[in-house]
């Protein structure tokens, strides 16, 4: 069913089957349970995880693997079962961005990815406790790091 919602990005028509349910909310926004992933062409690969319950809440997000090509973590079994993930392709993994006025100060949260099940449309924000990933990584530094890794890999072939 198509329904119109007011979001931070304006009025949008959403197929209600695209609604992502965060049963436990997102830390700091536990009262908000229903979100949708908006993918405006003019900002892609930056997308927006927009609340369908509070038009003032939308998080800029992107795929962390685009920024850090060696990004990986293991999801605990209980979350894998909750999200009904049988294979990696069943999940959409997103990282929240902080976008200040200065473009070179954009940060990405690699420590707490958003995981969305493509099977049951449930979402969670999972805190990775390995010490390697932080809540604020400078985007430009992560891109430079990934480019250096690719460069070394290409030289080694």
Q: What is the pLDDT of residue 135?
A: 95
CATH number of the CATH domain containing 12: 2.30.290.10
Q: Give the bridge partners for 37, in sequence order.
A: 49
Q: Residue holding tokens 């795929």? A: 63
Domain that holds residue 66: 2-156
Residues of the chain with pLDDT under 70: 155-157
Count of domains in the chain? 1
Q: What is the pLDDT of residue 149?
A: 84
Q: What is the pLDDT of residue 106?
A: 95
Q: What residues have CB less than 8 Å from 20, skipping those under 6 apart? A: 34, 35, 36, 37, 49, 116, 121, 122, 123
Q: What is the pLDDT of residue 130?
A: 81
């Amino acid at each position: 069913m198509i329904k119109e919602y007011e979001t931070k990005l304006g009025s949008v028509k959403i197929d209600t089957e695209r609604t992502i349910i965060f049963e436990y909310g997102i830390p700091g926004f536990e009262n908000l349970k229903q979100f949708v992933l908006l993918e405006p062409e003019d900002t892609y690969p930056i997308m927006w995880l927009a609340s369908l319950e509070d038009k003032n809440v939308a998080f800029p997000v992107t795929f962390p693997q685009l920024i850090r090509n060696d990004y990986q973590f293991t999801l605990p079994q209980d979350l894998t079962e909750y999200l009904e993930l049988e294979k990696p392709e069943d999940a959409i993994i997103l990282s929240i961005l902080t976008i200040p006025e200065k473009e070179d100060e954009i940060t990405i949260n690699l420590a707490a990815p958003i995981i969305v099940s493509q099977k049951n449309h449930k979402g969670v924000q999972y805190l990775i406790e390995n010490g390697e990933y932080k809540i604020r990584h400078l985007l430009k530094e992560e891109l430079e790091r990934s480019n250096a890794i690719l460069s070394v890999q290409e030289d080694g072939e």
